[in-house]
Amino acid sequence: MSQTAQERAAAGLPADRIHQVAFSAAHEGIVTVDAQQRIVMINPAALRMLGCSENEALGSRLSRFIPPAHRSAHARMVRAFDASGAAFLSWRERGAVQGLRANGEEFEALVSIARVDVQRGAVKRRFFIALLWDLSQEQALRSQLDALNQHMRTVFELAPVAIWITDSGRIVFANRASAALFGAARREDLVGRPIESLIAPESLPSVLASLTRALSEDGAVPALTERITRLDGRARDVVIAVAALPDHGRTTVQMVITDITERAEERRQLERSRSELRQLSANMVIAREDERRRIARELHDELGQRLTALKMGLASLEAGEPDRARASRIGAMIDMVDDTVASVRRIATELRPLMLDDLGLNAAIEWLAHGWAARMGIKVHLRLGAKDPDASETAAIALYRMVQEALTNIARHARATEVRIVLQQAAGELRLTVQDNGVGFGEASMYREGSHGLMGIRERAYMLGGELEIGNARGGGGRIRVRLPLRAAAAGAHESAAARPPAAEEERP
């Protein structure tokens, strides 16, 4: 039964001192027993720990809450403590003990024991006050914390972006994505490295300034678009997000690194493509004006002068002039008319090869190649099909202009003595190859300003859903290869190849 304050006072319990101890440590379990190990006072924390009510606990022997296998050891410990004359036994001296809840569940606890002697007249009574710490709750919390730490580590470890943690400028943790990004066989290969060894030199000042700002200021630090250096020496474009982690020395920083190399390359290609298209558009305007100027000059200089001379010759014919002289003048005028007709045909052919309409693509390419070879003094080898390929009018004129542009490029830059032109139809494709034995395409000659011939070939190929390959032949010299889908070539489809990355474009030095 529960003891009242009066009963405890009658029993000689120092209620004021017990209350003082109880209140000073009320957040822990407090159990007071007499010399016979009967519980005479217990606080709510201890009741919760033992899983019983105050009525059930008071008056019970303490051994009720000790597992049977541990009761003998506990009794020996109490006797030894009592005989030692010490007033306090710390849990550090004894270590953890086993407790028993009212429902039969065992638990681990830490116990510190204080001995209190109360003198009332000639009667001296001894009490033991035990302070209890339930380790099962702490162990549960520790297990939860360990599980949470493991979960967070797993999240970091399996994150698709590179995450590392640095302390005083050195990497102390790196996930798998970090190892993949930096080309390390294991993530442990990155641990211990200074970040200076993995950041590109040109990006290092900005990254260090961001780290300093993150450690010295509260709040978010803007992400950086910088470059890193892999272990194999190659550079990558990345976005780096920096955040300081709470620690006493303010030296720990988390860095999230996102690889944007492909995106940056796509952006550069897009910008380059836009620049090229602007240049091509401007070049087309200039080329159109140049062509008009050239045609106007030829019409004026050749046709105009010859027609004027022909008019003057006709006016000079007089009835009284001898027949022999008249015949000579007429013969000269006929020759002049023939030259004028030839000039008109040449100008018309340059504007639009009529042979392409009359005889087909193979004959037009053959005529173009032989005429070019005769003018340039360069040998041309042709390998064309027995019949014209299945190409629409749009594809045929595009292929003809591609050959024309390729030969012009060779004449200007290649310093070649032989050229080979192959047009074949195979594997669902129409393939045009123009190869020479000249100097080839040099790395430094790519994207040369003012040269738009290869760009024009590429755009014509894209217009028909095809692609352009530029490179050097195995035996030396340059090679241009155009591949057009037969269906698009036959239909004359105007398909944009915006989804396809542009092929590398080069011009010879």
Would you place residue 19 in the very low, low, confident or very high pLDDT band (cuts 50, 70, 90)? low
Residue 63 has pLDDT above 60, yes or no: yes
Placement of tokens 């100097």 in the chain: 439
Q: Are 198 and 240 in contact (CB under 8 A)?
A: no
Number of structural domains in the chain: 4
Q: Are 223 and 241 in contact (CB under 8 A)?
A: yes
Per-residue pLDDT at 239 = 92
Would you place residue 383 in the very low, low, confident or very high pLDDT band (cuts 50, 70, 90)? very high
Distances (CA, A) of 158 to 164, 171, 178, 238, 256: 12, 18, 11, 19, 13
Map 273-313 to HEC letters. Answer: HHHHHHHHHHHHHHHHHHHHHHHHHHHHHHHHHHHHHHHHH
Would you place residue 282 in the very low, low, confident or very high pLDDT band (cuts 50, 70, 90)? low
Task: Kindly state whether residues 345 and 360 are assigned to the same domain.
Answer: no
Residue 442 lies in a domain: yes
Distances (CA, A) of 315 to 69, 137, 378: 144, 125, 46
Residue 355 has pLDDT above 60, yes or no: yes
Cβ neighbours, 10 Å, residue 51: 15
How far is Cα 74 from Cα 68, in angstroms, rounded to an integer? 10
The average pLDDT across 232-237 equals 91
Q: Which of 25-34, 124-133, 280-289 has the highest mean pLDDT?
A: 124-133
| Higher-confidence position of 24 and 91 | 91
Per-residue pLDDT at 508 = 41
Question: Strand pairing partners for 117?
Answer: 126
What is the helix (H) or strand (E) element at residue 182, kind and residue range? helix 176-182
Q: The CATH number of the domain where 452 resides is what?
A: 3.30.565.10
Q: The CATH number of the domain where 243 resides is what?
A: 3.30.450.20
Residue ending a domain, among 103, 135, 167, is 135
How far is Cα 432 from Cα 197, in angstroms, rounded to an integer? 49
| 34 φψ region: left (φ > 0), alpha (ψ -120 to 50), beta (else) | beta
Q: Are 47 and 33 in contact (CB under 8 A)?
A: no
Chain-centre distance of CA 207, in angstroms?
18
Map 136-167 to HEC letters. Answer: HHHHHHHHHHHHHHHHHHHHHHHCCCEEEEEE
The average pLDDT across 452-475 equals 84
Task: Kindly state whether residues 385 and 499 are assigned to the same domain.
Answer: yes
Task: Kindly state whether residues 398 and 312 are assigned to the same domain.
Answer: no
Task: Kindly state whether residues 345 and 392 are assigned to the same domain.
Answer: no
Task: Find, among 36, 29, 31, 30, the residue nearest to 61 by Cα.
Answer: 36
Task: Kindly state whether residues 360 and 500 are assigned to the same domain.
Answer: yes
Task: Kindly state whether residues 361 and 336 are assigned to the same domain.
Answer: no
Residue 451 has pLDDT above 70, yes or no: no
Per-residue pLDDT at 494 = 42
Task: Kindly state whether residues 347 and 367 are assigned to the same domain.
Answer: no
Residue 403 lies in a domain: yes
Structure-derived torsion over alpha carbons of residues 235, 241, 245, 250, reported in degrees to the nearest 10: 70
Q: Are 30 and 22 in contact (CB under 8 A)?
A: yes
Task: Kindly state whether residues 128 and 214 are assigned to the same domain.
Answer: no
Tens digits of residue pLDDT in 155-209: 777 788 899 889 888 999 899 899 999 999 998 899 999 999 999 999 999 999 9
How far is Cα 4 from Cα 6, in angstroms, rounded to an integer? 5
Distances (CA, A) of 72 to 39, 63, 69, 219: 18, 9, 7, 60
* Residue 152 in tokens: 């967070």
Residue 138 has pLDDT above 50, yes or no: yes
Residue 140 lies in a domain: no
Q: What amino acid is encoded at 255 in this protein?
A: M
Per-residue pLDDT at 444 = 47
Would you place residue 140 in the very low, low, confident or very high pLDDT band (cuts 50, 70, 90)? confident
**Mean residue pLDDT across the chain:** 80
Q: What amino acid is encoded at 469 in this protein?
A: E
The parent domain of residue 315 ranges over 270-351
The average pLDDT across 453-458 equals 81
Task: Kindly state whether residues 414 and 341 are assigned to the same domain.
Answer: no
How far is Cα 321 from Cα 326, in angstroms, rounded to an integer? 6
Residue ending a domain, among 318, 351, 384, is 351
Per-residue pLDDT at 505 = 40
Give percent above pLDDT 70 in the chain.
82
Per-residue pLDDT at 273 = 78
Kindly give, in sequence order, each residue whose CB lies less than 8 Å from that of residue 276, ignoring residues fewer than 6 positions away: 447, 455, 502, 505
Per-residue pLDDT at 16 = 59
Residue ending a domain, among 225, 259, 293, is 259
The average pLDDT across 369-396 equals 89
Residue 143 lies in a domain: no
The average pLDDT across 46-51 equals 90
Per-residue pLDDT at 497 = 39
Per-residue pLDDT at 18 = 55
Residue 149 lies in a domain: no
Residue 146 lies in a domain: no
Per-residue pLDDT at 443 = 56
User: Order of strands across the sheet with 235-244?
Assistant: 170-174, 162-167, 252-259, 235-244, 224-229
Residue 465 lies in a domain: yes
How far is Cα 356 from Cα 364, in angstroms, rounded to an integer? 5
Quote the DSSP letter at residue 504.
Answer: P
Q: Report the range of poorest mean pLDDT among 52-61, 298-307, 339-348, 492-501.
A: 492-501
Structure-derived torsion over alpha carbons of residues 398, 399, 401, 402, reported in degrees to the nearest 10: 120
Would you place residue 2 in the very low, low, confident or very high pLDDT band (cuts 50, 70, 90)? very low
Q: What amino acid is encoded at 500 in this protein?
A: R
Task: Kindly state whether residues 297 and 399 are assigned to the same domain.
Answer: no
Task: Kindly state whether residues 319 and 365 are assigned to the same domain.
Answer: no
Task: Kindly state whether residues 443 and 426 are assigned to the same domain.
Answer: yes
How far is Cα 162 from Cα 178, in angstroms, rounded to an integer? 4
How far is Cα 32 from Cα 39, in angstroms, rounded to an integer? 6
Residue 455 lies in a domain: yes
